[in-house]
Amino acid sequence: MKVKIGALILISVFALNSCKTKAVSDNTIKTNIKEVVKSSDVVLVDVRIPEQYSEATAKDAVNIPLAELQNNIENLKGKKVVVFCNKGIQADQAVEILKKNGVEVYDGTTWKNVKAIQQEKQ
């Protein structure tokens, strides 16, 4: 019985610590996204298809569709990159791809969010 209680406590501690770490890192990214978007050395990447990109996007954004992202990783290495799309789903996928390949990447979620940050007064 003591072993079962001890194991339960140990599992609970690991579970709580893993949740805590994730929340802290998410908050850090969200806190810094405005600063990152407004920095002069950032590359803004719209990962939507060209037709969507041509309709509207954030200022100075380049279009690298999610399907072509893997082929453009070398061009993004060594740069600070913010990715975004329509709803944030493709941006999440882009973040994972770029992180796995050693790119400093931030999730801007949507093009409207990035554009709103750009338009904010300092």
pTM for the structure as a whole: 0.74
SS3 state at 74:
helix
- List pLDDT tens digits, range 17-76: 544 334 444 434 444 899 999 999 999 999 999 999 999 999 999 999 999 999 999 999
- List pLDDT tens digits, range 69-101: 999 999 999 999 999 999 999 999 999 999 999
**With bands split at pLDDT 50, 70 and 90, how would you rate the model's confidence at 110?**
very high
